[in-house]
Amino acid sequence: MRSHDVGYEILGDDIQIVEIELDPGETVIAEAGAMNYMDDGITYEAKMGDGSDVDEGVLAKLLNVGKRVLTSESIFLTHFTNNGVGKKRVAFAAPYPGKIFPIDMSKVSGDLLCQKDAFLCAALGTRLGIAFTKRLGAGFFGGEGFILQRISGDGKVFLHAGGTIIVKRLKEEIIRVDTGCIVAFTSRIDYDIQRAGNLKSMFFGGEGLFLATLSGTGTVLLQSLPFSRMADRILQHAPRAGGRRKGEGSILGGLGDLIDGD
């Protein structure tokens, strides 16, 4: 089926929201829990599957559920439909700071492969599947694992990334990237994992043991702040056992503890 032609507006700067404008009868699909607010007249329903195949049977729906389980996503997608009169809006936000990136799939050559938590919402008619990495090394050592999300269709898709989004357009070129910084890439891009330099650089360089190698012709989306990196930083400064905290430096941390009465 052809995707619904939805309008949109992205609000905010570092913690963004996307407002989707729906004509009567139009639908947008989203990850469970992504909705922020919606106009009266919009109804929603949790469904197993993306709704791209109107004749999809029970077996096919169960297969799609299995695919989402493999990517650690919720087995349900929420379908928001404008059942009111006139244009209505529904807004979606990601669970951590970053940017929302709109993609018109009708202008993408082939499918789009993305990390498992990059998808935010899309026009009804967009097909969500899975793609397996081609190389064993990419599966064991890549931040994306063996399985990526595959997005196809001809409508608008909205991805979320941590920090700032960087767009790289490769023309028979090679780029090496921290595995956690990959958001998405077009299907003509070849994805592999390679060792990060010599043993000294691997263990003491701070860039990890392996880097992702992306090559060929196509588009690559990168993020400046992977959620895993942000979470590690937060954990480093979370309160330790006994209620004492870890400061940025020993002196400032100690002064903070004195002020707090610790």
CATH number, domain of 37, equals 3.60.160.10
Q: Note whether 156 and 245 are same-domain residues.
A: no
Tell me the C-alpha to C-alpha distance, in Å, between residue 78 and each of 46, 47, 124. Answer: 4, 6, 11
Q: Note whether 34 and 143 are same-domain residues.
A: yes
Q: Note whether 142 and 242 are same-domain residues.
A: no
Is 169 within the bounds of a domain?
A: no
Q: Note whether 155 and 248 are same-domain residues.
A: no
pLDDT single digits (tens) 32-90 = 889 999 999 999 999 877 877 766 556 655 665 555 555 555 678 899 999 999 999 99
Q: Note whether 150 and 241 are same-domain residues.
A: no
For the chain, how long is the longest CA-to-CA vector? 67
Is 1 within the bounds of a domain?
A: no
Q: Note whether 151 and 255 are same-domain residues.
A: no
Question: How much is the pLDDT for 251?
Answer: 46
- Residues 6 or more apart whose CB falls under 8 angstroms from that of 254 comprise 247
| Domain total of the chain | 2
Is 55 within the bounds of a domain?
A: yes
Q: Note whether 158 and 240 are same-domain residues.
A: no
Question: How much is the pLDDT for 236?
Answer: 77
Is 228 within the bounds of a domain?
A: no
pTM here? 0.79
Question: How much is the pLDDT for 211?
Answer: 81
Q: Note whether 63 and 153 are same-domain residues.
A: yes
Domain that holds residue 240: 236-262
Q: Note whether 126 and 249 are same-domain residues.
A: no
Q: Note whether 19 and 137 are same-domain residues.
A: yes
Quick one: tokens of 28?
Answer: 């947008």
Question: How much is the pLDDT for 207?
Answer: 52
Is 122 within the bounds of a domain?
A: yes
Question: How much is the pLDDT for 14?
Answer: 80
Question: How much is the pLDDT for 178?
Answer: 86
Is 193 within the bounds of a domain?
A: no
Alpha-carbon radius of gyration of the chain: 21
- Domain stops at, among 124, 145, 163: 163
Question: How much is the pLDDT for 193?
Answer: 78
Which helix (H) or strand (E) element contains residue 64? Answer: helix 58-70
Tens digits of pLDDT across the chain (262 residues): 689 999 999 999 888 999 999 999 999 999 888 999 999 999 999 987 787 776 655 665 566 555 555 555 567 889 999 999 999 999 999 888 889 999 999 999 889 999 878 999 999 999 988 887 655 454 455 444 457 889 999 999 999 999 899 999 999 999 998 888 999 999 999 988 776 655 555 555 555 567 888 999 999 999 998 877 777 777 877 776 555 555 444 444 554 454 444 4
- Domain stops at, among 112, 131, 163: 163
Is 187 within the bounds of a domain?
A: no
Question: How much is the pLDDT for 144?
Answer: 46
Helix (H, G, I), strand (E, B) or coil at 10: strand
- Domain stops at, among 163, 184, 207: 163
What values do phi and psi take at 195, rounded to 5? -65, 140
Question: How much is the pLDDT for 148?
Answer: 84
Is 14 within the bounds of a domain?
A: yes
